[in-house]
Structure 1
Amino acid sequence: MPQKARAAIVDKSEAEFRIADVEIDEPGPHEVRVKLVATGLCHTDLAVRDGVLPANFPVVLGHEGAGVVEAAGAHVHDLKEGDRVVLSYGSCGDCRPCMEGDPAYCDHFTDLNFLNKRLGSDKPVLGGEVNGAFFQQSSFATFAIAHERNVVKVPDEAPLKLLGPLGCGIQTGAGAVLNTLAPRAGTSIAVSGVGSVGLSAVMAAKLAGCHPIIAIDMQEERLKLASELGATHTINAGDGEVPEMVRKIAPEGVDAVIECSGAKPAARAGWAALANRGSLLVVGAPPGGTDYDFDANEHILSGRKIVGCVEGDSVVKVFIPRLIQHYLDGNFPFDRLVSEYPFEDINKAVHDMEEGKAIKPVLIMDKDA
């Protein structure tokens, strides 16, 4: 029988979330139904809500879920009822990028993550006209259906209500450093935009032994936190020309810039701050139609590279457990980014994130878990 749930629904572009009752379908052969404990709130959710990224309205968003498996499909082999899990992004498993170990670049990424196509079934996840299967989870709800490919079992000793953001924002920042850049110790790095993604990149850079680690932002409170989490230097982008300030710290420029803000001026400044052969990793998604232009002789022929990075190039069943172990070992304190909100206060959480009062809001569905 379908499972009744409470869900936060967006009826149209730029509308507020409204809480309503919905019905969740039974899991298919390769799916699980998860009782959500908590879900992270991500800027991607808000970009979809606002029509900046594609969506089918009305829709239940949410793509950083954490909870407990309540039911498993007949052909699910590595998950069972009672397992504690984190939910991440969807991928088909059959296209060339997936088969070559790059599921973040799945040929069907847009359909499976933004357009609510349920992997392996044409049936809707939710009853009525509301769309589900956002990132193969739609976790702004008390229950969610997820495909076994994007469900990660987590250890009992890890605090489940904190783990949801590992499914997207935190793995994106950390993976940009540890997976995409894969730096040698001593690599110089700048992180532009130190929200939850950027701060995760700072912590990962510290793990990797990078030096210097330069945090760039316009909010002093976030720069202060970046220093506490591993940045060796900070730059307030409102104090002058960023490339010049970077070169006062690293005279030849830095080996890598992780650009997390999605702002074109920040990307251009990051490019100008690179050393010869340096890499600009574009992590933050700019608005559609954004063009970057650089002088070929001055910059590109110096060996500089622009690299796109989606979901931290993460293979979720491998990378998320690694991040959890780093956290349990005391080396990746991502809990310092989290602010908790009751699920019913989702619109307050959105407001606080948009105002810069909360770095990574986490919505609590089950306060007793």
Structure 2
Amino acid sequence: MSDSFQIQFSYIPRTLQFRFDAGTSRGVLKTREVYWIKAVSSQNPEKVAWGEAAPLIKLSPDYRNDFEDVLAATLEKLSRQTWELDEDSILHQVKRQVHFELPSIRFGVEMALLDWIHGGKKKFFPNSFYDQKAPIPINGLIWMGDREFMLEQIDQKLKEGFSCIKMKIGAIDFGQELELLKYIRQQFSKDQIVLRVDANGAFSTQEALHKLHQLAEFDIHSIEQPIRAGQWDEMRKLCRETPVPIALDEELIGMKDKETLLNTLKPQHIILKPTLVGGILETRNWISLAENLGIGWWMTSALESNIGLNAISQLASAYNPSIPQGLGTGKLYHNNLESPLEIKEGYIRYGEQAWQNPT
């Protein structure tokens, strides 16, 4: 085989169906649109590789009415390119060829190309998750909803053996949300159960610090995005004064000047969603900067199908994470692809089941 190759890209749209009404700060989700990117080469037509572009409603920079047209045009352009058989070359060429404002397409193309150079086996680079079947610790996610629905989820996650629970807040009365956290803490100490909360920017700047002090009573590990993104003066002050470590999430989306953001706001943690921040290369850049500044991080999926979840899990695994990652979204859908990904007792694993072919 030569040291360079051409790829013919195509895509398959899929509407994923949630098993329940998934409450978020952007409304209730019942379905999720994803686009599976297929990569084949005339040099080796038997080898088929896959990626996934999955812009998230009202949040991804590339969530737009003409997304499918933009995806088709981008893949047509990339099908005329020649690629080197080298991971670093591929990632930098994708960065040059796919606009920064199309982060989910960047990620999907990176996936498909790296899968292709590794044999079309759903492997993207060396990592212990795929190579040694090493499990990754994950948090159990509690979706927004009424008190009874959230309590039901909490009991289920505790029963399933999760040692880290992440609760989305901001949907119901804050007092009721505090009661749910108290319910967990009455049963389990912070050494037994790690508690994270995600406000998705729901707090006003006036009330945020007071609410953070109320949350601190329950030994909260961290809070994601307490106030809306883009309010740098207020966020910098919060990160300095907070009694609960702050993890920036939406703040990172569409941000080119990573170093200025981290140096200005000085958060305790950042949350990395490759689909939203622009894929593998951009995520690695965020990690490098954060670690140099002593800022913690973990990786989270953004409601992708199992194709995207597999790539994010492998990317997280390459850093040998010791704290729980946000990778527990594979069982959300009725019609997800069957895959080797398994979630058991607070871990995600790459098991033995064969992959179902995308159609």
TM-score where L is the length of structure 1: 0.33
